[in-house]
Structure 1
Amino acid sequence: MTGHNKQQEVQPELVYTTSDAMMETLRDAGVEYFFVGLGSDHASLIESWAKAEEQGKDMPKIIVCPHEFLTLSIAHGYAQVTGRPQAVFVHVDVGTQNLGGSIHNVMRGRIPVFIFAGMSPATAENELPGSRNEFIHYLQDVPNQAGIVRDYMKYTHTVNSGKNMKQSILRSLQMAQSEPKGPVYMMTPREVLAEEIEDNDVQVDHFKPVEPQGITGSQADHVVNQLLKAKKPLIITSYLGRQEEAVPELVQLAESLSVPVVESGPYYMNFPSDHPFHLGYEDYTGSNESTDRVKEADYILVIDCDVPWIPLHTKPKEDCVVDWIDIDPTKENIPLWYYPTQKQFQANSYLSLKEINKQVSQLDLSTHKDAIALRAKGLKAKHEELLSRWNEKAEESSYITPDLLTKTLKSVLDEDDIVMNETISNFGAVWRNIRRNKVGTLYGAGASSLGWNGGAAIGAKLANPDKRVVALTGDGTYMFTVPSSVHWIASQYKTPFLTVIFNNRGWKSPKLSTLGVHPDGVASTNDKFWVNFGDNARMEKISEASGDAIGYAVSSPDELREVLEQAVYTVDNGRSAVVNVYLEPQTGQEL
């Protein structure tokens, strides 16, 4: 009997299952990608996807990810640049655990994402299709699988019947996309995924996220009056740029009343860096230009920000009025958090700024004209002074400094390039010198579990295949990205991007933290911090071995620009590039 005849005889019976309903519902809800790390719990899902492909049905594109941390980081980056949640599939409890710190990142970054994990089968003697047939089904049966991630999720749910799978998925997506946005986690036993069900017609439009709300007219009037009354008003933000339409509204307000803007730990492009009313960054150390702005202000409007200043280092004057507009003004998931404010508004920043600008446009500002003009003149002078200081930091030296690296990098990038920034101890240098001025061109994790940048860059590239994507990372952070998996995926799915490693041969941040607490301690005196890596790791070679990328290493300032230009050329021609930039090494003993 021929193989062809055998194939004809074993045509599978095509029944409609919970897995089919799941795939169709996610597709109809606008999910474009399934980022997957599959296991035995996903058998019926795999069958469903194969069946859909065989039948020529539209379905989300499947991206195979060899590591779960990376899987969620890709979804994170994609949702950041598009605003649209994608689906992540992980394997029972062990795959859920392997998500690791990425669940912290999506929670703190308020990233909408749908995470699905199977569960060990709930039957053991073939009572139902999908019953236990492997020894791991016993070992992976844990008492509280959702408890692994519950503290980091907006919503967790176990689906116990395929008959309401569609409704459960749509409710989960509704929760993920309602402000404050965030991740959701769904799970179900293998038997439920294999269950034969009747297709039911559930309307996606009946599960829309909660409509955003801005501040009211009277609340906007209060903010405007405070801005007009203040002699030294100040606006602070961190993530207003997550809504790109909010940025021009902030610019309009700043220009209308000559109000300076400071970005505190920004992880979006919130306000054009070269705008004359941009007065610098708060990098959470208190040792930079924004500290004086906070101390001098008599009115501060905080918009979309978690940590506007560090009270240990600086705080406003006693008589300074502080108002707060935020999707999450009381930070319900941060146990120790308090910033004395006069008014807090739980509101959408874009809609709120529109209302504030509407109020301003209806005012007769003639009595304030001179004060506004004088303040504008002073702000422009401060901005120019700031730029001058920043340029001095980037002057040539005998080794490559973070400021020289970022200034040179800016000169070889285009304004439309998307920069994913996870440089940690070198955040300040990136903000000072990369200076993005277009919305949607700068992103950070908004959190602290290192390794986000590699997966996030792939997500950004999937969402913007025609744009150049650049990941900036420290050497320690680069190792956390799971680089072998990152570059395999980038090669497999044609998402080339540029990685620039700020290599100071170790974890600089723990050293800085130690010095911050014990500046004259024994570690400082003996210069021993257990954070140095030395020069042995050729990190750029990982990308060559695992992902057909081209790796570069550079330590001389004279060669820096040429190497960066070569790397950009490599990416523009369809291959990823990794530039390992050796900065001045840390002092301190080796590991």
Structure 2
Amino acid sequence: MGKSYTTSTAFLEALQEAGVSYIFANLGSDHPALVESLALAKKENRHFPEVITSPHEMVALSAANGYAQVTGEPQAVLVHVECGTQNLGGAIHNAAKGRVPVLIFAGASPYTQEGELLGSRNEFIHWIQDVHDQRGIIRGYTKYDNEIRTGKNVKQLVHRALQIAQSDPKGPVYLMGPREVMEEDTVPVNINLEHWQPTAPNALPTQGVQDIVYDLVKAKHPLVVTSYLGRNKKAVEELVTLCNTLAIPVLESVPNYINFPSTNPMQCGYQWNSPEQNELLAQADVLLVLDSDIPWIAVHNRPAKDCIIYHIDIDPLKEQMPLWYIPAKQHFAADAKTALQQINEFLRNVKVDEISIEERRDRITKVHKHQREQWERNEQYREDIITPEYLTACIREIIDDETIIINEGISNYETIYRHIKANQPGMMIGSGAGSLGWNGGAAIGAKLAAKDKTVINLTGDGSYLFSVPSTVHWMSRKYNAPFLTVIYNNRGWKSPKLSTLGVHPDGVANEMNTFFNDFDPPADLAKIAESAGGAYAQTVKDPSEIKGALRKALTAVKEGRSAVLDVYLPAINKEIEIAEKVLNTIK
């Protein structure tokens, strides 16, 4: 086994046994034993997960997040004591709220100070970084946390943590270990991986299947609402089968995956914060809510009071959301793919009214077609400005079904979903959460997970800055993970402006057009990536340059170099002037 076999060696072996490919690491004074074990393994030609040096913890966890979203496989993140734990920042929120499996390990300050054990305190920071409850810093965002106290059962702790992380609802887990424990000599332990598998998918009860099918068959205006069903590609296939069979329209509410093919005639749009009533939702008499955190926002948009609602979700009670409820006839804790398989199988033996179904199919197809015609009109080229709709339509021209799109467009979420027209499950992912800056690290993780695919990162200028782009693009070059970033740059925070207008539409801020949200003078965002990671960098302000710039940038990516296009959209606080000009032109 080499010179020594320590707790750290056993820890790394456990990660290897569990199928972890990468350790996204931000190292510190708490990690000498792990560094030594990794170096010894390299010397002896033993295989452990590859270490990806991550100069910022936000990027490290975002990269692990993106990798897991693409593959379903959890990766490891290594951070420095309580400081590194806190520096995970919003990334731990994203992993928790997005239900993404990942194992985070942090060292801890030594618990001896006079050399009693190997690893005892020998640096001033060991006193400063000693805190009362390091695990408590992120306990509200993890499914499981524990402290490694001996090498004798470290493998069991790692496999238990990963078992919990991968069991629905999935999520991050956290382990910590002081220096003395990680330096401890121990003996190898053999683990039977069959005993540490995640829990099996939950199914619907037989009566539940029957009730859902009979109500859907009787419904005049059935509707499916979903948000993250598309995390499982097989679930999308089953949903397509159900909706094609009964001609049920699908509304994707705050989606963070491709849950239903965009060009399928039953796909009837996307919704985020629009302060308006969705007609299909208002008309629905039977509603099937599948894997959705926010199926609607009741202040402006809700189903009818007499609508029959069935809710199927891996996390139907939303226990991590103190305020959450919908008026469902029945809530089911079930895996969407499994549940839909049950529904489709039972439906095959149920008599249906084919005439009514075909009439509904024709009606919904017309709704779908009318939507798309309206969306296409919004894509029209303009000589004076670059609209987000036109920009997205141009991006659509350079992608194929094998492209992976990272979507952190924020105020342009809906625009991107509408105009990309993605059909393949897994083709687009979002964080599923609310802490900005996920996009850059997620793009690295996605590229490491699918090295043969093109990764395109669509982000706002605010979320680009939150992503720590200097770290992102240094890592992209060092680890040969090139991707294209397109910045939807309106030179400020549009979302806080929209939030203010949502509460105070006729307020003083609107009257004065003052929202304290502009980035004027703007930074040269593309150059950040060029200087930190050698990326191809271009700022685009002229609409006539968009298509050529996209082709050049994509060529650079295919040649192995990341690229950033900083595309100037209308500035956030100039939109009123632009709208007035359009109205005057029409008049």
Cα distance between partner residues in 2 of 1:303 and 1:119: 41
Q: Does residue 340 of structure 1 match 2:317?
A: no
Is contact 1:501–1:580 with CA below 8 Å preserved after alignment?
yes
Shift of residue 198 of structure 1? 1.3
Structure 1 equivalent of residue 448 of structure 2: 462
Deviation of 1:571 (Å): 0.7
Cα distance in 1, alignment partners of residues 86 and 421 from structure 2 = 37
| Aligned-pair CA distance for 1:588 | 6.5
Structure 2 residue matching 1:494: 3-state secondary structure: coil
Partner of 1:153: 142
Aligned partner of 1:89 among 78, 81, 87: 78
Once the two structures are superposed, the pairs formed by residues 135-534 of structure 1 within 5 Å of their partners are 135-287=124-276, 291-365=278-352, 368-397=353-382, 398-534=384-520
CA contact (8 A) 1:285 1:310 kept: no
1:98 maps to 2:87: yes
- Partner-residue secondary structure (3-state), 1:263: strand
One-letter identity of the residue aligned with 2:450: N
CA contact (8 A) 1:532 1:588 kept: no
Q: Please list the CA deviations of residues 493-512 of structure 1 after superposition, one character each: whole Å capped at 9, or x if unmatched.
A: 00000000000010000000
Task: Provide Cα deviations, 1:64-123, integer angstroms capped at 9, x if missing partner.
Answer: 000000000000000000000001000000000000000000000000000000000011
Bigger Cα displacement from structure 2, 531-540 vs 580-589: 580-589
Say which of 524, 527, 548 aligns to 1:562: 548
TM-score normalised by length of structure 1: 0.96
Of 339-348 and 213-222, the range deviating more from structure 2? 213-222
Taking the aligned partners of 2:310 and 2:397, their CA distance within structure 1 comes to 38
Query: CA-to-partner distance for each residue in 1:316-355, whole Å, 9 max, x for gaps?
Result: 1111011100000111000011111100000000000000
Q: Which residue of structure 2 aligns with residue 6 of structure 1?
A: none
Deviation at 1:216, TM superposition (A): 2.5
Provide the aligned C-alpha RMSD in A: 1.2
Whole-angstrom CA distance in 2 between matches of 1:13 and 1:86: 26
Q: Which amino acid aligns with 2:570?
A: E
Instruction: Give aligned-pair identity as a percent.
Output: 49
Assess if the C-alpha contact under 8 Å between 2:493 and 2:572 holds in 1. Answer: no
Partners of 1:216 and 1:133 lie apart in 2 by: 59
Say whether the 8 Å CA contact 1:105–1:446 is kept in structure 2.
Answer: yes
What residue is the counterpart of 1:548 in the other structure?
534
Q: Tell me, what secondary structure is at the counterpart of 1:584?
A: coil
Q: Which amino acid aligns with 1:343?
A: Q
Contact 1:272–1:437, Cα closer than 8 Å, also in 2: yes
Distance, in Å, in 2 between the alignment partners of 1:198 and 1:577 is: 48
One-letter amino acid of the counterpart of residue 300, structure 1:
L
Tell me the distance in 2 between the aligned counterparts of 1:561 and 1:28: 46
Shift of 1:13: 7.3
Deviates more, 1:500-509 or 1:278-287: 278-287
For residue 128 of structure 1, report the CA deviation from its aligned partner. 0.8
Deviation at 1:300, TM superposition (A): 0.6
Distance in 2 separating the partners of 1:236 and 1:374: 21
The 2-side partners of 1:254 and 1:477 are apart by: 35
Q: Which moved more, 1:201-210 or 1:454-463?
A: 201-210
For 2:405 and 2:191, locate their aligned partners in 1 and report how far apart those are by CA, in whole Å: 40
CA distance in 1, matches of 2:89, 2:561: 29
Counterpart amino acid of residue 106 in structure 1: A
Count matched residues.
574
CA drift of 1:291 comes to 1.2
Aligned partner of residue 193 in structure 1, secondary structure: helix
Amino acid at match of 1:554: V
**Contact 1:216-1:355 at 8 Å conserved across structures:** no
Q: Secondary structure at the match of 1:41?
A: coil
Alignment-mate amino acid for residue 73 of structure 1: S
Instruction: Tell me the SS of whatever aligns to 1:116.
Output: strand
Q: TM-score, normalised by structure 2?
A: 0.97
2:579 — aligned with what? none
Alignment check: 8 A CA contact 2:474 2:533 kept: yes
Q: What corresponds to 1:5 in structure 2? A: none
Distance in 1, Cα, partners of 2:29 & 2:109:
9
CA shift, 1:364, in A, is 2.7
Deviation of 1:267 after TM superposition, in Å, equals 0.6
Q: Match for residue 18 of structure 1? A: 7
Between 1:442-451 and 1:535-544, the stretch displaced more is: 535-544
Q: Aligned with 1:581: secondary structure?
A: strand
Separation of aligned partners in 1, 2:522 and 2:344: 56
1:314 Cα shift?
1.2
**Runs of at least 4 residues off by over 2 Å:** 284-287
Q: Residue 377 of structure 1: SS of its match in structure 2?
A: helix
- What's the offset of the Cα at 1:202? 2.2
| Structure 1 unaligned spans of 5+ | 1-11
- Cα pair 1:264 1:284 within 8 Å, conserved: no
